[in-house]
């Protein structure tokens, strides 16, 4: 399977260009590699991969690693070998983790000893494990110590990434990214942000996500900039790392910015070399607070993991907006039923959206775009390419100056700490709980960004026993455990005997039934009371997200706007300020 993306530069060429550059280029803890050493390391691993892949096998390598030097080395190796990296998410568990590896047809999986327990007992026939922190691994690489990067095998159309993106079906889809597209994305960000060879990119978001690879590693590679890795994100180590590595650029997703703001403020917080942070879901309130405290501007962007649509921030973008479509582009906000373009948004004096019912629709790219499909998932591809257009599955509205604002997602997904989760998958797991007669899972808004998982359970509930049950489920990912559990005698249903999800979402944690919750940072469930509710409401107000607490919003969810102009009778989401 080849892409039709026609960029002229390959990732392999960018890797090979670093040969002979003896400046320090890759830092992780106490390890430092020069650009030359990273190119040589990628070349050695490329030759090893070529030897290990069975004849006729898809050239795919699964990488189940924290952010260690091995991750970018294997990205470079795959590019040189004309192969693709499937980033394996270590928060996945059991059969679901095995499914990800088998679905992407990875015959080689690179991991480390810390992650070996995740693979114990999994059905992975024909898969060769390479454990990077072992003598056996060093022995495998030794014969290729003199390898030199050769980019001649790679073409712009070669797959280089298989990025998992979750959907409402529960089974993650592997979006294809070619060498041409990844190289073009890196070069575009270099131009947008003026990245140069003296910059250092701090990669603290997990590299199995597209954010860290596409928005952080790729522009560094394209510019010849340095890369500093943090094995796992740490708010307390953020500034010490930035100062230690002289980092000038970083990317973030979701709650990372809030975690940084929650650290104890110090008089010297602004004494750092950073000049820019680029990411999603920080929120206007936290972005402003971050700049005041650390002296660093955060730039919000939007880009679908599949590459079919992107919106770039430009100077003059209003607070809360993502940006404007590129000039001459075909990004539009459409009513998904009539296919008509939605009217521009109207705001009151406080900046609150007045005509969300009409203005909010699905963001659609009606022009040529670099979406390259999903691996072995034609049904999902057809859903994305309806009418010959690229449908993002995300809801937006635009103001009269053409600036776009993100409004949510169209399907029944939850987004927790930047992880897309499927309600049906979590329900199937929670249904195993011995006291459960029926279970419903749905999203409730988070006061900072995205969602939190809430479950309604009909039956008997023991908070300590439920916690033990969760810990014993091999396929319960680390983001899936419910933050809130509502306990009912009988599951509310509609006239057609379907679970009344709109009613459950609308009441959320403000309901007459007992609700148990795990406050942030707590390990045990306790009763949710009036003081807890007041604290949450205050946090929503402080972050300008009080509109998300409206019962109408919670009941219908953002996807209500995809149902047509008569489906929702309400006004307003979040305030917009200029």
C-alpha neighbours within 13 Å on the C-beta side of residue 546 = 11
Residue where the block lists tokens 């209500």: 560
Q: What is the CATH number for 441?
A: 3.30.300.30
Q: What span, in angstroms and rounded, lies between the C-alpha atoms of 371 and 304?
A: 9
Same domain, 386 and 484: no
pLDDT in the model for residue 570: 31
Last residue of a domain, one of 130, 154, 178: 178
425 vs 525: which has the higher pLDDT: 525
Place of tokens 């070619």: 178
- Tens-digit pLDDT profile for residues 100-121: 999 999 999 999 999 999 999 9
Residues 20 and 169 in one domain: yes
pLDDT at 566 over 50: no
Please indicate, yes or no, whether residues 400 and 418 belong to a single structural domain of this protein: no
Domain region containing 350? 327-409
**Of the residues 409, 425, 454, which one is the last residue of a structural domain?**
409
As a whole number of angstroms, the distance between CA 381 and CA 173 comes to 10
Full-prediction pTM beyond 0.85? no
Of 176, 253, 248, the C-alpha closest to 219 is: 248
Closest by CA to 394, choosing from 502, 287, 302, 278, is 302
Q: What pLDDT is attached to residue 564?
A: 38
Pair 405, 425 in one domain: no
The CATH number of whichever domain residue 42 belongs to comes to 3.40.50.980
Burial class (CB in 10 A: 0-12, 13-18, 19+), 548: buried
- Name the domain count of the chain: 3
> What does the pLDDT read at residue 405?
87
How confident is the model over 143-192, as pLDDT tens digits? 999 999 999 999 999 999 999 985 434 578 999 999 999 999 999 999 99
Quick one: pLDDT at residue 314? 83
End-to-end Cα spacing for the chain: 46
Closest by CA position to 63, among listed 90, 27, 91: 90
CA dist., res. 373 & res. 174, Å (int):
9
The H or E element spanning position 177 is: strand 173-178
Q: Does 455 lie in the same domain as 530?
A: yes
Q: Which of 354, 376, 409 is the last residue of a domain?
A: 409
Q: Distance between CA atoms of 313 and 320, rounded to whole angstroms?
A: 11
Q: Which residue has the tokens 């489920």?
A: 473
Does the pLDDT of residue 215 top 80, yes or no? yes
Q: What is the DSSP string of 88-143?
A: --TT--HHHHHHHHHHTT-SEEEE-GGGHHHHTT---TTPEEEETTSHHHHHHHGG
| Angstrom distances, CA of residue 274 to CA of 216, 239, 493 | 14, 10, 53
- Let me know whether 476 and 521 are in one domain: yes
């Amino acid at each position: 399977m080849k892409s039709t993306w026609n960029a002229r530069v390959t990732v392999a060429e960018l890797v090979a260009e670093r040969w002979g550059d003896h400046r320090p280029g890759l830092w992780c803890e106490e390890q430092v590699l020069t650009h030359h050493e990273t190119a040589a390391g990628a070349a050695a691993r490329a030759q090893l991969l070529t030897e290990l892949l069975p004849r006729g096998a898809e050239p795919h390598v699964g990488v189940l690693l924290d952010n260690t030097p091995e991750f970018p080395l294997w990205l470079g190796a795959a590019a040189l070998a004309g192969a693709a990296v499937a980033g394996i998410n270590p928060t996945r568990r059991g059969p679901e983790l095995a499914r990800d590896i088998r679905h992407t047809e990875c015959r080689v999986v690179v991991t480390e000893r810390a992650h070996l327990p995740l693979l114990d007992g999994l059905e992975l026939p024909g898969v060769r494990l390479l454990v990077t922190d072992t003598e056996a691994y060093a022995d495998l690489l030794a014969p290729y110590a003199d390898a030199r990067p050769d980019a001649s095998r790679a073409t712009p159309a070669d797959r280089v990434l298989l990025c998992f993106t979750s959907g409402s079906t529960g089974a993650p889809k592997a979006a294809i990214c070619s060498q041409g597209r990844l190289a073009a994305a890196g070069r575009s960000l270099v131009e947008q942000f003026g990245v140069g060879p003296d910059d250092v990119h701090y990669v603290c978001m997990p590299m199995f996500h597209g954010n860290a690879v596409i928005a952080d590693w790729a522009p560094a590679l394209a510019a010849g900039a340095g890369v500093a890795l943090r094995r796992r994100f740490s708010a307390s180590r953020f500034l010490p790392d930035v100062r230690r590595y002289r980092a000038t650029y970083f990317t973030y997703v979701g709650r990372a910015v809030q975690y940084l703001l929650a650290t104890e403020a110090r008089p010297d917080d602004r004494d750092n070399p950073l000049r820019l942070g680029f990411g999603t879901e920080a929120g206007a309130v936290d972005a402003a607070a971050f700049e005041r405290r650390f002296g660093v501007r955060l730039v919000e962007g939007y880009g679908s993991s599949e590459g079919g649509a992107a919106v770039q921030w430009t100077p003059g973008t209003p607070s809360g907006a993502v940006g404007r479509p590129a000039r001459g582009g075909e990004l539009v906000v459409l009513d998904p039923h009539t296919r008509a373009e939605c009217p521009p948004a109207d705001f009151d004096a406080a900046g609150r959206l007045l005509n969300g019912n009409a203005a909010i629709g699905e963001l659609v790219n009606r022009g040529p775009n670099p979406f390259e499909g999903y691996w072995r998932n034609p049904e999902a591809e057809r859903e994305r390419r309806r009418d010959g257009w690229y449908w993002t599955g995300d809801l937006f509205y635009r103001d009269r100056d053409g600036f776009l604002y993100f409004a949510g997602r169209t399907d029944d997904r939850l987004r927790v700490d930047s992880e897309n989760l499927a309600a049906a998958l979590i329900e199937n797991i929670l249904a195993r709980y011995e006291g459960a007669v029926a279970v419903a899972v749905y999203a409730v808004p988070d006061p900072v960004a995205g969602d939190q998982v809430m479950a309604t359970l009909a039956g008997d509930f023991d908070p300590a026993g439920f916690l033990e049950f969760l810990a014993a489920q091999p396929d319960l990912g680390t983001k899936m455990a419910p933050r809130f559990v509502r306990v009912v005698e009988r599951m509310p249903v509609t006239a057609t005997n379907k679970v009344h999800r709109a009613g459950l979402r609308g009441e959320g944690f403000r309901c007459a039934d007992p609700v148990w919750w795990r406050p942030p940072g707590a390990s045990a469930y306790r009763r949710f009371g009036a003081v807890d509710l007041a604290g949450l409401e205050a946090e929503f107000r402080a972050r300008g997200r009080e509109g998300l607490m409206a019962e109408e919003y919670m009941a219908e969810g953002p996807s209500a706007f995809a149902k047509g102009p008569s489906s929702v009778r309400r006004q307003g989401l979040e305030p917009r300020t200029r």
